[in-house]
Amino acid sequence: MIHPQKLFVVGISFKKADIALRSRFAFAPDECSSTYSSMAADCFQHFFILSTCNRTEIYGFAPCEYLLLSLLRHHAKASFDEMNKCVYVKESNQAVRHFLSVASGLDSQIPGDYEIISQIKSAFQLAKAHGRTNGYLERLFNFSLEASKEVKASTFFSNGTVSVTYAAALKISKQKNICKVVVLGAGSTGQTVLGYLKKAVPQVKITLVSRNTEKSKRIASMFNIQAAPLEYLDVELCDADALVVATHSNHCLVHREHIFRSRIKLILDLSVPKNVAGDVCMMDQVKYYDVDSISSLTDSTVRKRLAEIPKVKTIITKFEMKFSRWSARQLYFSVSSQASVDGNLLSSKQLAGLFDLWHRSFQYDSSSKPHPAILTDSILSALKSAYPSVQLTKSTDNDAIP
The residues assigned a catalytic role are 53
Cα–Cα distance, 221 to 215 (Å, whole number): 10
Which value, in Å, is the radius of gyration of the alpha carbons in the chain?
Answer: 25
DSSP conformational letter for 298: -
Residues facing residue 57 across a β-bridge: 11, 50
Residue 393 neighbours by CB under 8 Å, 6+ apart: 338, 339, 340, 345
Cα–Cα distance, 204 to 175 (Å, whole number): 12
Rounded to 10 deg, the angle between the 188-200 and 213-223 helix axes is 30
Cα–Cα distance, 181 to 193 (Å, whole number): 11
Cα–Cα distance, 129 to 134 (Å, whole number): 11
Cα–Cα distance, 252 to 271 (Å, whole number): 10
Opening angle at CA 24, ends 23 and 29, nearest 5: 75
